[in-house]
């Protein structure tokens, strides 16, 4: 495994953030395709098969297997590497794909391993391995939705996640249990136990509006939580896009459309 490159960074913005990475000569950062925002002259881009962490130690078959794991979690088969090829410090920036926050993680201070949602990874120092984390428990596998297959980030360098809405960092004590919507989980340290629990109750099941299951996270460890899962945001946008504008916030609802002439066509 390639030794993680040590990179400095700055995060800019409030709601639509981007992270600027400072690269010394020959330092490299990796990122998801489409995350790139801008870079200084002297930085070279290269497309990698997989995450780049095994480029020098694996043959073609190993690279394909490594990249194939990323496809299973819904990520791109390739990653992009940005390397400072000149003397002096250079900068490259990556932007969040939707409103929210960028979460910097120093893996060396977090047990060298983080489990996160499939689409949470933004960029990292080269040497950080981006793979899959199977949840083996029956309840998780059958009912977890977002939680059946998650991503794992391994290494001792910097990695950056992005989340939608506000982000809460919560430290769980040993045996402390947190019940949470599966989509609200951004990531957690490898010491946290993860499972899915049935909500139960006929009224909760039919009328609760919160889904049939929630995740349980048991400490010790650290959890990062987002207030607005991107799936929830997308669902609301789709709902409003397919609803007549006069029904939104109107006491009259459909009657208002009728009186306004829309119902006479």
- In the chain the domains, ranked by start, together with CATH numbers, are 8-228 (3.60.160.10)
Q: What is the pLDDT of residues 145-154, one digit of tens each?
A: 444 678 899 9
The predicted pLDDT at position 14 comes to 86
The predicted pLDDT at position 149 comes to 76
Inter-residue contact 123 to 86 (CB < 8 Å): no
The predicted pLDDT at position 264 comes to 40
Instruction: Give the C-alpha distances (Å, rounded to integers) separating 90 from 30, 102, 122, 182, 249.
Output: 15, 21, 19, 39, 50
Place of tokens 């800019």: 12
Give this prediction's pTM: 0.78
Question: Within a 10 A sphere around the Cβ of 253, how many other Cβ atoms?
Answer: 13
Place of tokens 């130690």: 57
End-to-end CA distance of the chain: 67
Structure tokens at 89: 């410090």
Structure tokens at 2: 């390639």
Sign for the CA dihedral angle at 47, 50, 55, 58 comes to negative
Cα(69)–Cα(73) distance, integer angstroms: 7
Q: Sheet of 213-218: strands edge to edge? A: 177-180, 213-218, 193-198
Length of the chain: 265
- Please give the sequence-ordered ranges of beta strands (E in DSSP) within 17-173, or none if there are none: 18-23, 28-31, 36-39, 43-49, 78-84, 90-95, 100-106, 113-116, 121-125, 129-134, 149-154, 158-164, 167-172
Inter-residue contact 81 to 126 (CB < 8 Å): yes
The predicted pLDDT at position 241 comes to 74
Helices (H), 95-156: 138-143
The predicted pLDDT at position 169 comes to 96
- Which among 109, 123, 124, 110 has a CA at the least distance from the CA of 158? 124
pLDDT tens series, the chain, 265 aa: 445 677 899 999 988 899 999 999 999 999 988 899 999 999 999 988 766 665 444 555 655 666 556 565 556 678 899 999 999 999 999 998 888 999 999 999 999 999 998 889 999 999 898 888 866 554 554 444 444 678 899 999 999 999 998 999 999 999 999 999 888 999 999 999 988 877 665 555 455 444 567 889 999 999 999 998 877 777 777 777 765 555 444 444 554 444 444 444 4
The predicted pLDDT at position 255 comes to 45
β-sheet bridge partners, residue 10: 20
The predicted pLDDT at position 56 comes to 45
The predicted pLDDT at position 50 comes to 67
Helix, strand, coil in percent for the chain, rounding step 5? 20, 40, 40
The predicted pLDDT at position 262 comes to 46
The predicted pLDDT at position 251 comes to 46
């Amino acid at each position: 495994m390639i030794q993680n490159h040590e990179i400095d960074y700055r995060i800019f913005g409030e709601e639509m953030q981007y992270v600027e990475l400072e690269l010394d000569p020959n330092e490299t950062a990796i990122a998801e395709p489409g995350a790139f925002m801008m870079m200084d002259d002297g930085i070279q881009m290269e497309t990698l098969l997989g995450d780049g962490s095994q480029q020098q130690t694996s043959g073609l078959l190993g690279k394909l297997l490594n990249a194939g794991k990323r496809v299973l979690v819904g990520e791109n088969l390739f990653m992009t590497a940005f390397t400072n090829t000149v003397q002096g410090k250079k900068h490259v920036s990556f932007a969040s794909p939707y409103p929210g926050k960028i979460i910097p993680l120093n893996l060396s201070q977090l047990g060298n391993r983080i489990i996160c949602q499939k689409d949470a990874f933004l960029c990292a120092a080269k040497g950080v391995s981006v793979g899959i984390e199977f949840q083996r428990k029956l309840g998780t596998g059958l009912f977890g939705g977002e939680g059946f297959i998650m991503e794992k980030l391994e290494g001792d360098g910097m990695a950056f996640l992005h989340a939608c809405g506000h982000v809460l960092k919560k430290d769980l004590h040993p045996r402390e249990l947190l019940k949470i919507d599966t989509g609200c989980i951004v990531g957690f340290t490898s010491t946290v136990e993860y499972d899915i629990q049935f909500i139960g109750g006929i009224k909760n099941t039919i009328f609760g509006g919160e889904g049939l299951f929630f995740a349980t996270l048991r400490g010790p460890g650290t959890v990062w939580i987002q207030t607005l899962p991107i799936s929830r945001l997308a669902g609301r946008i789709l709902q409003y896009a397919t609803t007549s504008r006069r029904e939104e916030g109107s006491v009259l609802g459909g009657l208002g459309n009728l009186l306004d002439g829309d119902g006479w066509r």
